[in-house]
Amino acid sequence: MHCNEYPIITDEFWTSKQRQASSIHEVSYRACFKPQLPNFFINRFTKPGDIVYDPFSGRGTTAIEAALCGRNVIINDVNPLSIMLTIPRIRIPLLKDIESRLASIKLYKDRKADIDLSMFYHPDTESELVSIRDYLIERKANGRGDYVDDWLRMVATNKLTGHSKNFFSVYTLPPNQACSQQKQIEFNEKSGRIPSYKDTKDIIIIKSHQLQKDISPEIREAMFALGEKAMCVNSDAAKTSQIPDSCVSLVVTSPPFLDVIDYAGDNWLRCWFNNIDIKEVQESITVTKKLDEWELFMSSVFNEMYRVIKPGGYIAFEVGEIRKGKIKLEESIVPIGKQAGFEVLAVIINEQIFTKTSNIWGVSNNQKGTNTNRIVILRKPQ
pLDDT confidence tier of residue 9, bands split at 50, 70 and 90 = confident
pLDDT confidence tier of residue 31, bands split at 50, 70 and 90 = low
What is the average pLDDT across 10-38? 81
> Looking at residue 13, what is its pLDDT?
83
pLDDT tens digit string along 295-310? 999 999 999 999 999 9
pLDDT confidence tier of residue 364, bands split at 50, 70 and 90 = very low
> Looking at residue 91, what is its pLDDT?
98
> Looking at residue 113, what is its pLDDT?
98
Higher model confidence: residue 180 or residue 281? 180
> Looking at residue 289, what is its pLDDT?
76
pTM: predicted TM-score of the whole model, two decimal places:
0.90
Mean pLDDT of the chain: 89
pLDDT confidence tier of residue 371, bands split at 50, 70 and 90 = low
What is the average pLDDT across 206-232? 98
Three-state helix/strand/coil letters over the chain:
CECCCCEEEEECCCCCCCCCCCHHHCCCCCCCCCCHHHHHHHHHHCCCCCEEEECCCCCCHHHHHHHHCCCEEEEECCCCHHHHHHHHHCCCCCHHHHHHHHHHCCCCCCCCCCCCCCCCCCHHHHHHHHHHHHHHHHHHHCCCCCHHHHHHHHHHHHCCCECCCCCCCCECCCCCCCCCHHHHHHHHHHHCCCCCCCCHHHHHHHHHHHHCCCCCHHHHHHHHHHHHHCEEECCCCCCCCCCCCCCEEEEEECCCCCCCCCHHHHCHHHHHHCCCCHHHHHHHCCCCCCHHHHHHHHHHHHHHHHHHEEEEEEEEEECCCECCCCECCHHHHHHHHHHHCCEEEEEEEEEEEEECCCEECCEECCCEEEEEEEEEEEECCC
Which of 60-69, 107-116, 276-285 comes out lowest in average pLDDT? 276-285
Higher model confidence: residue 46 or residue 11? 46
pLDDT confidence tier of residue 70, bands split at 50, 70 and 90 = very high
What is the average pLDDT across 83-99? 98
> Looking at residue 369, what is its pLDDT?
41
pLDDT tens digit string along 133-188? 999 999 999 999 999 999 999 999 999 999 889 999 999 988 777 889 999 999 99
Confidence check: pLDDT of 72 > 90: yes
Domains of the chain: 8-79+217-263+286-379 (3.40.50.150), 95-210 (no CATH)
> Looking at residue 260, what is its pLDDT?
60
What is the average pLDDT across 30-41? 87
What is the average pLDDT across 360-379? 62
**Highest-scoring range by mean pLDDT, 26-35, 226-235, 289-298:** 226-235
> Looking at residue 264, what is its pLDDT?
67
Higher model confidence: residue 258 or residue 153? 153
> Looking at residue 265, what is its pLDDT?
73
Q: Is 190 exposed, middle or buried (0-12, 13-18, 19+ CB in 10 A)?
A: exposed
Confidence check: pLDDT of 367 > 50: no
> Looking at residue 346, what is its pLDDT?
95
